[in-house]
A and B are shown apart, each in its own frame.
Chain A
Amino acid sequence: KNQVEQSPQSLIILEGKNCTLQCNYTVSPFSNLRWYKQDTGRGPVSLTIMTFSENTKSNGRYTATLDADTKQSSLHITASQLSDSASYICVVSARNSGYALNFGKGTSLLVTP
Chain B
Amino acid sequence: DTGVSQNPRHKITKRGQNVTFRCDPISEHNRLYWYRQTLGQGPEFLTYFQNEAQLEKSRLLSDRFSAERPKGSFSTLEIQRTEQGDSAMYLCASSSVGPPTLHFGNGTRLTVT
Interface on A for B, CB 8 Å cutoff? Answer: 4, 31-32, 34, 41-46, 49, 89, 91, 93, 99-101, 103-106, 108
- Whether A46 contacts B4 by the Cβ 8 Å rule is no
A91 to B33, CA, bound (A): 15
User: Which of A93, A99, A105 is in CB contact (< 8 Å) with B55?
Assistant: A99
- Asked whether any CB of chain A lies closer than 8 Å to the CB of B99, the reply is yes
Interface on B for A, CB 8 Å cutoff? Answer: 4, 31, 33, 40-45, 48, 55-56, 91, 93, 99-107, 109
- Nearest CB in chain A: distance from B38 CB, A: 10
Q: A99-B31, A101-B45 are in contact. Are A32 and B109 (CB under 8 A)?
A: no
- Nearest CB in chain A: distance from B59 CB, A: 13
- Nearest CB in chain A: distance from B99 CB, A: 6
User: Which of A31, A43, A91, A106 is in CB contact (< 8 Å) with B107?
Assistant: A43
Q: Which residues of A contact B33 (CB under 8 A)?
A: 99
A49 to B55, CA, bound (A): 25
- Whether A43 contacts B48 by the Cβ 8 Å rule is no
Q: A42-B107, A100-B45 are in contact. List 17 more A-B contacts (CB 8 A).
A: A31-B99, A41-B106, A41-B109, A42-B106, A43-B104, A43-B106, A43-B107, A46-B101, A49-B101, A89-B43, A91-B42, A99-B31, A99-B48, A101-B100, A103-B42, A106-B40, A106-B41
Interface centre among B44, B104, B105 (most CB of A within 10 A): B104
Q: Give 7 closest A-B pairs by Cβ, nearest first.
A: A43-B104, A103-B42, A99-B48, A43-B106, A105-B42, A42-B106, A44-B104
A103 to B101, CA, bound (A): 13
